[in-house]
Amino acid sequence: MKAKDEKLPLWTLPNRLSIVRILFIPFIIICMEKGFLFLAFLLFIIAGITDGLDGFMARKLSMTTKFGLYLDPIADKLLVSSVLITLTYQHLVPLWVTIVLVCREFIINGLRAFYAMEGITIYPSFSGKLKTMLQIIGIACVLFNTGNNFFISDAVLDQIGLYILYAALFFSIFSAWNYIAAIFKPNPQDGN
């Protein structure tokens, strides 16, 4: 996939949706801190929907830009990492899970930024996209569980959310391994 920055304005609709996702973060965190967990859940779901919507629109409407290729994953990482850290602070997600997930994001984004300076774009893999989707679903389950007491018993939904986050953890490590292996794979043209 080639970026089409030359022909598109910087602030395409998909890029605006990514910015909206970033702007939702403080409101979600404030709602979590003030105990308005159901409202935090709703805002998080809306932010999660913008994640799928911006990618879909960029592809279907041919609005893919280089800026969007970097902004979208950064918006995802900020949203997920901020909420995970807050959930860990509130003792709703184990600390080690958050540390591994957030560290993975720093490593992969650091590699992306380094290679971007060299003019090389690292595109998201299927396992990376699946990881993000599972993180959003798992976090939403934990937020919904804590924010309500009227649908499913707390213990059941909490466990479902944590199991989904563990699956996200697996795909997080798997996709990171694939990124790193692909980056450091010897180039046959170098004679290695």
The whole-number pLDDT of residue 134 equals 93
CA pair distance 65, 171, nearest whole angstrom? 26
Burial zone of 153 (CB within 10 Å; 0-12 exposed, 13-18 middle, 19+ buried): exposed
The whole-number pLDDT of residue 191 equals 44
The whole-number pLDDT of residue 31 equals 95
CB of 83 within 8 A of CB of 29? yes
Q: How many CB atoms are located within 10 Å of the residue 5 CB? A: 14
The whole-number pLDDT of residue 153 equals 54
CA pair distance 149, 130, nearest whole angstrom? 29
Task: Point out the residues of the chain with pLDDT beneath 70.
Answer: 1-9, 146-155, 186-192
The Cα diameter of the chain in Å comes to: 64
**Domains of the chain with CATH codes:** 13-180 (1.20.120.1760)
**φ, ψ at 62 (rounded to 5°):** 50, 50
Residues listed for the chain: 192
The whole-number pLDDT of residue 123 equals 72
* Reported pTM: 0.82
SS3 letters across the chain: CCCCCCCCCCCCHHHHHHHHHHHHHHHHHHHHHHCCHHHHHHHHHHHHHHHHHHHHHHHHCCCCCHHHHHHHHHHHHHHHHHHHHHHHHCCCCCHHHHHHHHHHHHHHHHHHHHHHHCCCCCCCCHHHHHHHHHHHHHHHHHHHHHHCCCCCCHHHHHHHHHHHHHHHHHHHHHHHHHHHHHHCCCCHHHCC
